[in-house]
Amino acid sequence: MPAVTLLTDFGLSDAYVAELRGVLLSSAPGVMLVDITHAISPGDVWAGAYVLGRAWRHFPAGTIHLAVVDPGVGTARGALALATGGHYFVGPDNGIFTRVLHDTVVEIVALPTPPDAAPTFHGRDVFAPAAAALARGAPLQSLGTPFRGIPERLASAEPRYEGKAVVGEVIYVDRFGTLVTNLTTEHVPSYASLEVEDLDLGPLRRTFADVVAGGLVALVGSDGAVEIAVRNGSAARRLGLGVGGQVRVRLG
């Protein structure tokens, strides 16, 4: 039986995650459940899309990814199950799969909403049963009707050139306060230096320990993006920056 991963903004203070897991374990006894995270900020679909986009490729083929960050629950937003890259995904059609849909989508179905589903908890009553059915081996097309539209994708800014500089922006802040940007080494050659809030960070470094404790450092993170960090501290707190904050690359 394949694994089912769980990504939500439910937190762990309430019964929501337990109910989700209970439905999956009852409907697909013996299924392996793996928590990606339940600490996405409430309603932050972009953060959910970013974390899911990082994590899913590291699981074996056939894994089912249940992602529920759903501020539009109970509205006319769609409910989807899809297959791509040898994996399955189940969740709301609100952009949560933006970073997954870079791959060729094999098939997408629209999930029905059972008449007894709670309009405020589709994670438990719509998405978990669909994920459990996939775990039991049900064909994707048996879960609903063919999806004829275009799945929602979240808009994302691309780095832009301004004279002899490239301007990128922060797209995610991790729990350490590290600022993840939309820049890659393609935008930051070895001779370039980075600037944030008029502070010169110098060139890209290899790791956090390349600066003194408390020092700012720019480096390439484990997902290939340029990140701004503080050794043993929080760059977000130090700089007062969050998602959308600008990072400038001086090329000359």
pLDDT at 1: 86
Same domain, 66 and 91: yes
Domain span including residue 50: 3-146
Same domain, 85 and 204: no
Which pLDDT tens digits describe the chain residue by residue (252 residues)? 899 999 999 999 999 999 999 999 999 999 999 999 999 999 999 999 999 999 999 999 999 999 999 999 999 999 999 999 999 999 999 999 999 998 777 899 999 999 999 999 999 999 999 999 999 999 999 999 999 899 999 998 899 999 999 999 999 999 999 999 999 999 999 999 999 988 999 999 999 999 999 999 999 999 999 999 999 999 999 999 999 999 999 997
Residue 229 lies in a domain: yes
Same domain, 196 and 221: yes
Q: Say if strands 32-37 and 165-173 run parallel, antiparallel, or are unpaired.
A: unpaired
The neighbouring-strand residues paired with 90 are: 66, 81
- 208: domain CATH number is 2.40.30.90
pLDDT at 70: 98
Same domain, 113 and 67: yes
Last residue of a domain, one of 99, 121, 146: 146
Q: Say if strands 3-8 and 64-68 run parallel, antiparallel, or are unpaired.
A: parallel
Q: Is the pTM of this model over 0.85?
A: yes
Cβ partners under 8 Å of residue 227, min gap 6? 178, 179, 180, 181, 218, 219, 220, 221
